A and B are shown apart, each in its own frame.
Chain A
Amino acid sequence: KAGVTQTPRYLIKTRGQQVTLSCSPISGHRSVSWYQQTPGQGLQFLFEYFSETQRNKGNFPGRFSGRQFSNSRSEMNVSTLELGDSALYLCASSGGNQAHEQYFGPGTRLTVT
C-alpha cells in the first residue's frame, strides 16, 4: 500500500507570492490534516479535512486555506507569502477518528525569500 505523498518536495518563493501544496493520502483514508513545522514553534496544526469538509482549524491567519477533493487528495494554499511562512509543511492521513493511527508524508520544504 502506497504511503502519503506530498508534492512538490521543495519550493522557493518570494514574499507576496502565493503557493499551493498537494497531499495524496493513503488509499481508503478520508481524513487529511496539515501541519507547519518550524524550529521555533515546533509542529503546529493548520487544519483537517474529512470527506471534502474542513472539520478542524488551527490558529493560523486566513492566508492559509485548504480544500479536499472527492478522491481525498488535499491541497493547501498560502497567499501573500511572508518570510515567517518558511517551514516544513507536513500532511497526515488517517481513517478519520481519534482512535486511528496517523501517517505522515515526507513534507514540503517551503523557503520564502
Chain B
Amino acid sequence: KQEVTQIPAALSVPEGENLVLNCSFTDSAIYNLQWFRQDPGKGLTSLLLIQSSQREQTSGRLNASLDKSSGRSTLYIAASQPGDSATYLCAVPTGTASKLTFGTGTRLQVTL
C-alpha cells in the first residue's frame, strides 16, 4: 500500500527566505508526482507535475525534484513571499488510472 509522508508538517519563515518541502513515498513504481497548493477552505491548485522519467520541473520560483529510487521529492521555493502562505500537498497516482494518494501536507506561513 502506497504511503506518502510530508515533513515538516508546519513551517514558518520570514519573507525572502528560500525553503524546501519534503515528500516521501513507499512504493517507487509511480508514473508521476504532483505538487499542489491549498489555501484555507479552498480547492487544490496544481503547481508542478513531474513525470517518472524526469528528475525535476520548474515553474517560476518553484522547482520540484524527483528521485524515484529513494522514494523522495522536494519542492524548492525561492525568495518566499507572504502570498506563498498555504498548505502544500504532494500526491502520487496509486493503483490504476487517476486515483491519487496524498501526503498529509506542509502548512507554510511566510511572515513579513
Report which A residues bind B (CB closer than 8 A). 4, 6, 31, 33, 35, 42-43, 45, 48, 50, 55-56, 58, 88, 90, 92, 94, 96-107, 109
Q: Which one of A4, A48, A106 lies within 8 Å of B98 (CB-CB)?
A: A48
> Which 10 A-B pairs give the minimum distances between C-beta atoms?
A98-B31, A104-B44, A98-B93, A106-B43, A43-B102, A101-B49, A104-B43, A107-B43, A56-B99, A31-B98
CB-CB contacts of B3-41 with A at 8 A, as 1s and 0s?
Answer: 000000000000000000000000000011010100001
A-B contact pairs, 23 of them (CB 8 A): A31-B97, A33-B100, A42-B102, A42-B105, A45-B100, A45-B101, A48-B98, A56-B97, A88-B41, A92-B44, A92-B98, A92-B100, A96-B98, A97-B98, A99-B31, A100-B98, A101-B34, A101-B46, A101-B49, A102-B46, A103-B46, A104-B46, A107-B41
